[in-house]
Amino acid sequence: MRVGLFGAGRLAGAILDRLGDSVVWQVTRQSPPPDPVDVAIEASSGAAVDSHLEWALEHDVDLVIASTDWDTTGLVERVAERIGGVVAPNLSPTVALLERLCGVLGGWCGLDAQRDLFLVEQHHARKRDAPSGTAKLLARTLVQACAHKEVWVVPPPARPLRPHELSVAAIRSGAGASSHLIGIEAPGERLLVQHEARDLTAYAQGALLAARWLHGRTGVYPFSAVIRETIDPLFLENQP
């Protein structure tokens, strides 16, 4: 499989290290790709996604989109059945598992109005978007699963949080990778579930999985679809 890579940052570097000789070209946001490939991975920036998607459609190249902070409106209609696309605000397979767990945590919280949810994410100080794309994905999953939550918000300073709102906090500091913490507050107890990325190894692994899975498919998929066959049996086989 021949892979093209958009981007020259930390994530793109980790993907390049993982995929090795499978990457036949790597270009920055400004440089046009030299040749069509089987699958391209967009790991540059949200501002470049639109032009790189247009290139992929023009050259019939499947595209894994790992960049965040871009407008997905009309993406499904734009791609249709022309190429395959994976939208992955986070390429870690373990974060995909966390997304699945958020559905369970939100459902559990929704069974009792005295239970409350919160989400805290932390990234390096140079990250531009806040909350992160991963935090937004997890927050949407929690809200959809919880019967008494309707929307996620970054708490406004001028008023208290409303009962139907899920509180999401974003921290920007240091130069490390990332952390996402989901909590349930309940009378007399607290449940915390946290994912910490020590480096970008897992994201590069996920990029390879997504590229292999996507090639030959058409339509737009979330990254969770890539590893669904791995995760689903865990929930079925481990029932008491």
What residues are annotated to the active site?
123, 127
pLDDT of 198-208, one tens digit each?
A: 998 999 999 99
3-87+200-236 has CATH 1.20.1730.10 classification: no
Edge-first strand listing for the sheet containing 3-6: 23-27, 3-6, 39-42, 62-65, 84-87, 219-222
Integer CA distances (angstroms), 2 to 5, 26, 43, 70, in order: 10, 12, 16, 26
pLDDT of 148-193, one tens digit each?
A: 999 999 998 899 999 999 999 999 998 877 899 999 999 999 999 9
d(CA 240, CA 235): 10
Instruction: Give the model's pLDDT for residue 145.
Output: 97
Q: Which CATH number fits domain 93-197: 3.30.360.10, 2.120.10.30, 3.20.20.150, 3.40.50.410?
A: 3.30.360.10
> Could you say which residues of the chain have pLDDT below 50?
none
Question: Is residue 223 helix, strand or coil?
Answer: helix
d(CA 12, CA 14): 5
Q: How many CA atoms lie within 13 A of 72 on its CB side?
A: 16
Instruction: Give the model's pLDDT for residue 32.
Output: 77
Question: Is residue 101 helix, strand or coil?
Answer: helix
Task: Confirm if 113 and 54 have CB atoms less than 8 A apart.
Answer: no
Task: Confirm if 122 and 178 have CB atoms less than 8 A apart.
Answer: yes
Task: Give the start-to-end residue ranges of the domains of the chain.
Answer: 3-87+200-236, 93-197
Domains 3-87+200-236 and 93-197 fall in the same CATH topology: no
